[in-house]
Amino acid sequence: MSVTTAPADLHRPLNRSDYKTLSLSALGGALEFYDFIIFVFFAAVVSELFFPADMPEWLRQLQTFGLFAAGYLARPLGGVVMAHFGDLLGRKRMFTLSIFLMAVPTLIMGLLPTYAQIGIWAPLALLLMRILQGAAIGGEVPGAWVFVAEHVPHKRIGLACGTLTSGLTAGILLGSLVATLINSVYSPEEVKDYAWRLPFVLGGVFGFFAVWLRQWLHETPVFAELQQRQALAAELPLKAVVRDHRSAVVLSMLLTWLLSAGIVVMILMTPTVLQKAFGFAPVDTLRANSLAIVALSIGCVLAGMLADRFGAGKVFTLGSLALGGSSWLLYSSVGAHPDWLFPLYALTGLCVGVIGAVPFVLVQAFPAVVRFSGLSFSYNLAYAIFGGLTPMVVAGLLKYSAMGPAWYVLGLSALGCAIGLYLWRRPAQA
């Protein structure tokens, strides 16, 4: 079930071509993830401009978050379709197409007329663009993991996937920095009037630049070998995945749940919780969040390297313990010790980096002939379910205690430990 690699390539070091593939893939992934996530940083402004002024605030916010959720719900469809053709026509084609499909709607979002200009068509057009973005990111993330894993030596898959995941998280940091810059340079009135459009237009430009960069990439050796041997899937790849690889699907979905908890709760939601539940100033939480994302990027690479050396089982067992402990320490301490915010959030971000080992397991859970479809189906279905439900569950827990997010992450960390122990006992699968 491991990635198909020639025996002579199992232990060779990364060469210049590998580093080129990794760097271009990670950069493109960062730019595409920026396009998908920038909506979060300007959701408040968008809600004012794309819905009626007399709409109740709670309903406007609900519909805005609905637009955000639409991107998650569209991920499985886009991911499955692109993965289908990725298993039949080639990884590189879909890898390039996904970023093009992200760049176009992001650019259009920055140019859309508002509700005051075209009425109900404004939020409908925005919804359509979010759906297209979701479909694109659904193909990008699994496709990127498969692409780099099939390029590098088998003993470097963890490093490759961890580095790529680090690049994806860097896209969140880029979005945070651009949002900070826009809100620092322009007044609130200017942001609402026109400046909110700039990050989306910039995202479109980023996307087209990434499309250009990916023309320098080559098809993966694994797919090229399958094509040469005429060993491509003889039936619908997804059908074979559901029929023959159910245990791999379940394992992949559970690991994706852990990944979504780390990203959605600790990176995307925690700054807002820190403001509302603990009284931190927005500027402080944004800076602390940026530091946590930098630490997360480092943690992803470390987790991938450790998975290569010691196996995913040990990484998930110990890494999940660290994630649960650090998130609990953050939420239980910052109220009484606000000066601990930066070091504790950075430590938690580093521990969230255990998610860098998730793709190491996912890419090896399915045989090469259906790898893209299997990984994409499992990952995107799980992210649509858990990524969409997690904010609501955490919000419900917050009604009872400010520790709600920590409880949720602690529960998922226990799941991560259980998976780690399972993989630890099966070293051939880890």
pLDDT tens string for the chain (430 positions)?
Answer: 445 444 445 566 666 777 777 777 777 778 777 877 788 778 778 878 887 777 776 676 666 667 766 777 777 777 677 666 666 666 667 767 777 888 898 899 999 998 889 988 988 998 888 888 888 877 777 878 887 887 788 888 898 889 888 888 888 888 888 888 888 888 888 988 999 999 999 988 888 887 787 776 665 655 555 555 544 444 567 777 778 788 999 999 999 999 988 988 998 888 888 888 888 887 788 889 889 999 999 999 999 999 999 999 999 999 999 999 999 999 999 988 999 999 999 999 999 999 999 999 999 888 878 887 888 888 888 888 887 778 778 878 888 888 999 999 999 999 999 999 999 887 544 4
Q: Work out the number of other CB atoms within 10 angstroms of the CB of residue 328.
A: 18
Q: 396: Cβ–Cβ under 8 A, 6 or more apart, which residues?
A: 404
Tokens of 64: 């805005």
Place of tokens 């700054």: 271
Burial label, 325 (beta-carbon count in 10 A; 0-12, 13-18, 19+)? middle
- Alpha-carbon gap, residue 125 to 344, rounded angstroms: 41
> What contacts 24+ positions apart, CB below 8 Å, involve 178-181?
178/34, 178/38, 178/41, 178/202, 179/38, 179/41, 179/42, 179/286, 180/286, 180/290
- What are the sequence ranges of the domains in the chain? 10-429
What does the DSSP 8-state code read for residue 385?
A: I
- Alpha-carbon gap, residue 30 to 210, rounded angstroms: 9
Q: CATH number for 10-429: choose from 1.10.10.10, 3.40.50.620, 1.20.1250.20, 3.40.50.300.
A: 1.20.1250.20
Sign of CA dihedral 79, 85, 88, 89: negative
Of the candidates 45, 180, 178, the residue with the CA atom closest to the CA atom of residue 112? 45
- Alpha-carbon gap, residue 380 to 177, rounded angstroms: 27
Q: 12: Cβ–Cβ under 8 A, 6 or more apart, which residues?
A: 153
